[in-house]
Amino acid sequence: MKTRREFFKSAAVLTALGATGLPLRAAENKIETPNTGNDRLYWVSVAEKISRPVLENLARRELKLRMPVEQKPGSKRASFTHLEAFGRLLCGIAPWLAAETLSGDELKLQQEFIKLAQTSLDAATDPQSADFMNFTTGGQPLVDTAFLAQGILRAPKVLWESLETRVKKQIVEAFKSSRKIPTPANNNWVMFAATIESALLEFGEPTLEERLENCMRKMLGWYCGDGAYGDGEFFHFDYYNSFVIQPMLLDVLAVLQKRDSAFAPARKIVLARAKRYAEVQERLIAPDGTFPSIGRSTTYRFGAFQTLTAIALQHELPEHIQPAQVRCALTAVIRKMIEAPGTFDANGWLQIGFCGHQPALGESYISTGSLYLCAAGLLPLGLPPPDEFWSAPAAKWTLQKLWSGENLPADHAISDMRTVPLPVLKR
Domain assignments of the chain as residue spans, ordered by start: 4-403
pLDDT of residue 25: 31
Instruction: Please enumerate in sequence order all residues whose Cβ is within 8 A of that of 129, keeping only pairs 6 or more positions apart, or say none.
Output: 61, 122, 123
Check if the beta carbon of residue 366 is closer than 8 Å to that of residue 82. no
pLDDT of residue 418: 78
pLDDT of residue 3: 52
List pLDDT tens digits, range 303-324: 999 999 999 999 999 999 999 9
pLDDT of residue 382: 98
Instruction: Please enumerate in sequence order all residues whose Cβ is within 8 A of that of 284, keeping only pairs 6 or more positions apart, or say none.
Output: 291, 292
- When pLDDT is cut at 50, 70 and 90, the band that residue 421 belongs to is confident
> What is the mean pLDDT of the segment spanning 173-193?
94
- When pLDDT is cut at 50, 70 and 90, the band that residue 208 belongs to is very high
pLDDT of residue 376: 98
List pLDDT tens digits, range 119-144: 999 999 999 999 999 999 999 999 99
> What is the mean pLDDT of the segment spanning 398-423?
93
- Please state which architecture CATH assigns to domain 4-403: Alpha/alpha barrel (1.50)
Helix, strand, or coil here: 130?
coil
Mean pLDDT estimate for the chain: 92
Instruction: Please enumerate in sequence order all residues whose Cβ is within 8 A of that of 35, keeping only pairs 6 or more positions apart, or say none.
Output: 393, 394
Check if the beta carbon of residue 286 is closer than 8 Å to that of residue 241. no
Q: How far apart are CA 78 and CA 90, in angstroms?
A: 20
User: Percentage of the chain with pLDDT > 90?
Assistant: 88
Provide the total of helices (H) and of strands (E) in the chain, helices listed first. 17, 4
Residue 25, strand partner residues: 30
List pLDDT tens digits, range 239-289: 999 999 999 999 999 999 999 999 999 999 999 999 999 999 999 999 999
List pLDDT tens digits, range 61-114: 999 999 999 999 999 999 999 999 999 999 999 999 999 999 999 999 999 999
